[in-house]
């Protein structure tokens, strides 16, 4: 797996992209598990952010990525996504 992609949208007030938080329970790009990864994310399409994985992930039996973002009214949305790479 060479990239993490995150999609986000808010129809009412819009999102505050500066509030984006991305953390994984595995090491990513040389950063320890649980370290903030949002500074690695770049917009790639409207509402889509990507983190290039260097090196690409291989043989990850189980991992979780946690993402949160605030809308402009201050509401926070949190998602925990489990994944594996064979």
pLDDT, tens digit (0-9, with 9 covering 90-100), for 34-83: 999 999 999 999 889 999 999 999 999 999 999 999 999 999 999 999 99
The DSSP secondary-structure symbol of 74 reads S
Instruction: Please answer whether residues 54 and 29 qualify as being in contact, where contact means their C-beta atoms are separated by less than 8 angstroms.
Output: yes
DSSP state of 20: E
What's the pTM value of the predicted model, to 2 decimals? 0.91
CATH topology of domain 3-85: Immunoglobulin-like (2.60.40)
DSSP SS3 for 14: coil
Burial of 66 (0-12, 13-18, 19+ CB in 10 A): middle
**Residue ranges covered by each domain of the chain:** 3-85
47 or 24: which leads in pLDDT: 24
Q: Give the pLDDT confidence score for residue 31 in this predicted structure.
A: 97
The widest CA-to-CA distance across the chain, in whole angstroms, is: 40
């Amino acid at each position: 797996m060479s990239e993490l992609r995150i999609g986000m949208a808010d129809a009412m007030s819009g999102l505050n992209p500066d509030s984006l938080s991305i953390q994984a329970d595995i090491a990513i790009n040389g950063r320890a598990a649980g370290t903030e990864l949002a500074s690695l994310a770049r917009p790639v399409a409207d509402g889509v952010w990507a983190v290039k994985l260097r090196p690409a992930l291989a043989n990850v039996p189980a991992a979780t990525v946690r993402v949160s973002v605030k809308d402009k009214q201050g509401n926070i949305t949190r998602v925990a996504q489990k994944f594996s790479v064979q």
